[in-house]
Structure 1
Amino acid sequence: MMLDALAAQPSSSRGRAHPEVDAGPRGPRDIFQRDRDRIIHSVSFRRLRHKTQVFVAPDGDHYRVRLTHSIEVAQIGRTIARALGLNEDLTEALCLAHDLGHPPFGHAGEDALKAAMTDAGGFDHNAHSIRLVTKLETPYPGFDGLNLSWEALEGLAKHNGPIRNPSWALAEANADFDLELGSWPSLEAQVAAVADDVAYDNHDIDDGIRAGLLNLDELVELPIVRRHWDPIDQRHPGLSDEKKLRALVRDQIGSMVGDLIAETRRRVADAGVETCDEVRAAGQPLAGFSASLADEECTLKRFLYERLYNAPELIPIRVEAQRVVSNLFAAYRDDPSLLPDNWRSEGDETQRLRTIGDFIAGMTDRFAVARHEELVGPVYLPDRF
C-alpha cells in the first residue's frame, strides 16, 4: 500500500511566513526542495561538522559528528519515504535540520546551557532549531530566518509528537506562524523522527565498539543483535569481528527500516486516515516500529545508555564540557563587551541572557574550547574522546 494520498504536496503547502517574489533564477525546484537546499546552505548546517554526536571534540576521523549523523538520518529517511510514497524532499529537509539547534558538546553542553539560562526561560535544542531557522540565520535581505515552509517548520517543531507546553523559544516562533503545536505532525515528520532512532541506535554501536567502550560479547547477547549476528556467522564463516560488525549495522538498519514500513502501513490502514489533516488529528503516531521490535529497541537503548552514553570513561569529559559552557556563559554575562559587536543585545536582562545563549549554542566544540582558553583558562579534554 502506497500512502501517496497522505504525502505532503508542494502544490498545497500552507506557504511561508514571509511571501517571496520569485525574482532571479531559482531553477526547477518546488517549495520543499527549496527548504532542503536552504538548510544545506545554512551556516548552522556547516557548523554541525564540528559538533559532538557522542564523543566530545573527537580526534578520530572515523567517529560520527552531528553533520555525518544528519546525513545518515536523511539517507534512511528518504528510503522510508520513497517506499511509503511520501514526500522525499520534505522528509530529507527535516532529517537534515533535526539537530541544527544542538549546542557544543552535545547533551552535556545542553544541560549546562539550560542551567545557565534558568532565569531566562532555559534552553531546549529542539526549540533552538526553530529559533535558528526563523530568526538567527539571516541570509535574505527582506526578513530574518530561512523562511521555511509551514510544513517544514511544523515537522521540526513537533516531529516527536504534540507539544503541550512549549518553551519560550518555540512559543515565540509559534506566535509569528501558528504551527498547531497540539496536533501530530505529517507522516514525513514522523518518519524523520524514527529514522533518527534507526541511525543512532546502529551507528553508536559502531562508534562505541571503535572507541573500546562497548563489549562485543555483551552486545551480542541483546535480542535484536543476536537475531542478526548469528545469521552473519552462518553466511560468512570465519569472518573477522570487524567485518561482522559492519554487516551487523547494515542488517539491523535494513531490518528496522523494513519493520517500520510494514508497521506504518498497518497503522495507517487501521486508523482509516485519508488526508494529511486526518494524520494530524489521529491522536497517535502512525509511523513507528511494531510492538516486538519496539521492545527490542528499548532494550538496546538501555544498554547504550548504561554502557556508552553514561560510561565511566565519559563522565569526567562531560563534567569538563559542562564547565566550559558554564564558564563561557558567566564570562559573557559578567562582561557583555566580550561578545562580538553584532551579538551585544540592547534589550532587557532576559533578552541579554537569551542572546548570550544564542551565541554559545551556535559554537562548535572547538570554537567553545578556543574561546574558553582565551577568556577563562585551560580546558582539559582528552584527545581520545
Structure 2
Amino acid sequence: MIRAPYAADPANHGGREFGPRQSTHSHGSAGAETRGPRSEFQRDRDRIIHSMSFRRLKSKTQVFIAPGGDHYRTRLTHSLEVAQIGRVIARALGLDEDLTEALCLAHDLGHPPFGHAGEDALSEAMQRHGGFCHNAQALRTVMRIESPYPEHDGLNLTWDLLEGLAKHNGPVSAPNWALAELDEDFPLELGTWPSLEAQIAAVSDDIAYDNHDIDDGLRAGFLGLDDLMELPFIADQWRAVEKRFPHAPRERQLRELIRDQIGLMVNDVIEDTKKQVVGMESVADVRSANGQSGGFSPEMSAHERSLKSFMYEKLYYHPEQVEAAGRARDVVARLFAAYSQDATLMPGDWQDRLPKHDPQRARVIADFIAGMSDRFAMQACTEIYGERPKGLVNV
C-alpha cells in the first residue's frame, strides 16, 4: 500500500516519554528491544491489546448494563468493531492502519463501570477534587496506571498515539486536571488538530455505535422498525433493502439495513476526507489545519446528528434505561463513599499507593473504581454493604 504524504509515519514518530526499552540479549549485552519485526505503531497496538485494562472492557457496559444476553455489545466488542471500521477507512486513504487501529482499541480504556452512568457518578463524587472525564482517564490509564514494565509507569506509548487519544475529538482548549498533568510531563500540543489517523478513529467510533446501538436496541425490543422509519434517510435505506430482499426474514433484513448504513457512512467519510486533504503534503499540514480534515460530509453530519437525537430519545433515555442508570450511579457513589471512609476496603497494592490528602487521595480512589468492570463493581458493593445491587440487568 502506498502511504499518503499526510499519513503518520512510524519511522518518524514523536518519541516515547521514557525512551526505548532495554533488554539483555543472549550474548549478554544490553541493547534496543527486538521482540519481532514490528513498527513503532504496531508496538503501541500490541501493548494495548495485551493490557489488563483492555481485557476488562469485556465486562464493561456499552449500552445495556450487565446484559444478560450473550449477543449485546460490551466496550470490548465495540472497540473491536471500531477498529475494523477504522482500518478500512485508513487503508482507503493511505493512512497508517496500525496507528488507526491502536487508537480505536484504546479510545474507551478510561470508561468506568456502567458506562456513562458510572462516569456521571464519578464526576459528581470528584466535583470538589477536579472532576472526572473518561477521555482524560484513558490517557491516565495508559500513561500512569497500567504499568507492566520494571523501568517506568505506563505503557510508554508513542507521542502520536497519546496525542491522538488526547484530542481525537479536536483541539483541547481547557484540559481538566488529569490531562493537564500528563501534558505537563509529556507535552501533547493540545491546541492543534491531531493526525488524520486520530480523526478517523473518532468518526469510526461514531459510525460503530450509531449503528450497532440500533442493532442492540432492536434485539432488546427497545426500538422497533416503525421507530426507525421516523428518520427519512434510514427509511430510504430500508425500502432499498426490502426491494433487494423481498422474501428474506425481517431479522435478516434489519441486519442488512445496519450493514448498509455502515457502508454508506464509511464511503461518505472516505470521499469527503479525500476532498479535504487536497494539497496537504505532511501530517504537520493536518495538525495546522483550520478545522477537521477527516470526517463526514456536511449532509451526512446532519443525518448523523438526527440519528443521535433519535437514539437519545428512543433508547438511551428509555425509562428502563434511565432506571437502570440510576441504580448504577448509586453503586459507584456508594463505592466511592466507602473507600473514602475506609481505605482498608481496597486491595493492598492500592492502599500502598493511596496519598494521605485530597485531592490526590480522591483521584486515586477514582482510578481504582474507574478500572472496575461492571461485575467487579457489583461484587465489591455486595461485599461492602452485604446486599447485591438489584435492578441493573434490564435485557
TM-score normalised per structure 2: 0.95
CA distance in 1, matches of 2:142, 2:42: 16
1:121-163 Cα shifts (integer Å, max 9, x gaps): 1100000000000000111010000000000000000000000
Shift in Å, 1:336: 1.1
1:25-58 Cα shifts (integer Å, max 9, x gaps): 4100010000000000000000000000000011
Corresponding residue for 1:358? 367
Q: Which residue of 388, 391, 394 corresponds with 1:378? A: 388
Shift in Å, 1:292: 1.1
Q: What does 1:72-91 correspond to in 2, within 5 Å?
A: 72-91=81-100
Corresponding residue for 2:146? 137
Corresponding residue for 1:30? 39
AA at the equivalent of 2:334: N
Corresponding residue for 1:57? 66
- Count, aligned residues: 382
Corresponding residue for 1:314? 321
Matched, 1:43 2:52: yes
CA distance in 1, matches of 2:215, 2:21: 47
AA at the equivalent of 1:75: Q
AA at the equivalent of 1:83: A
AA at the equivalent of 1:11: A
Shift in Å, 1:383: 3.4
C-alpha contact 2:65 2:114 (8 A) present in aligned 1: yes
C-alpha contact 2:324 2:393 (8 A) present in aligned 1: no
Corresponding residue for 1:331? 338
Which 10-residue stretch deviates more, 144-153 or 219-228? 219-228
CA distance in 2, matches of 1:382, 1:161: 34
Matched, 1:304 2:304: no
CA distance in 2, matches of 1:119, 1:218: 41
Question: CA 1:154–1:13 in structure 2 vs 1: closer, same or farther (change >3 Å)?
Answer: same
C-alpha contact 1:32 1:93 (8 A) present in aligned 2: yes
Corresponding residue for 1:273? 280
Shift in Å, 1:227: 2.1
Shift in Å, 1:346: 3.0
Corresponding residue for 2:29? none
Shift in Å, 1:82: 0.1
C-alpha contact 1:120 1:353 (8 A) present in aligned 2: yes
1:233-275 Cα shifts (integer Å, max 9, x gaps): 1111122210011101111111110010000011112xx3221
CA distance in 2, matches of 1:311, 1:250: 25
Shift in Å, 1:22: 4.7
AA at the equivalent of 2:388: P
CA distance in 2, matches of 1:160, 1:246: 29
Shift in Å, 1:91: 0.1
Q: What does 1:194-343 correspond to in 2, within 5 Å?
A: 194-269=203-278, 272-343=279-350
C-alpha contact 2:58 2:76 (8 A) present in aligned 1: yes
C-alpha contact 1:273 1:282 (8 A) present in aligned 2: no
C-alpha contact 1:117 1:354 (8 A) present in aligned 2: yes
C-alpha contact 1:108 1:318 (8 A) present in aligned 2: yes
Runs of 4+ in 1 over 4 A off after TM superposition: none
Shift in Å, 1:378: 3.1
SS in structure 1 of the partner of residue 272 of structure 2: helix
Q: Which residue of 175, 180, 183 corresponds with 1:174? A: 183
TM-score normalised per structure 1: 0.97
AA at the equivalent of 2:389: V
1:171-228 Cα shifts (integer Å, max 9, x gaps): 1111111000010000000000000000001000000000010121120231221121
CA RMSD between the two structures = 1.1
CA distance in 2, matches of 1:229, 1:86: 33
Matched, 1:92 2:138: no
Corresponding residue for 2:135? 126
Task: Return 5+ residue gaps in structure 2 as ranges.
Answer: 26-33
Task: Return 5+ residue gaps in structure 1 as ranges.
Answer: none
C-alpha contact 2:5 2:280 (8 A) present in aligned 1: no
Shift in Å, 1:21: 4.0
AA at the equivalent of 2:307: L
Corresponding residue for 1:101? 110
AA at the equivalent of 1:228: Q
C-alpha contact 1:224 1:300 (8 A) present in aligned 2: no
1:95-134 Cα shifts (integer Å, max 9, x gaps): 0000000000000000000100112111000000000000
Shift in Å, 1:382: 4.5
CA distance in 2, matches of 1:193, 1:381: 33
Matched, 1:71 2:80: yes
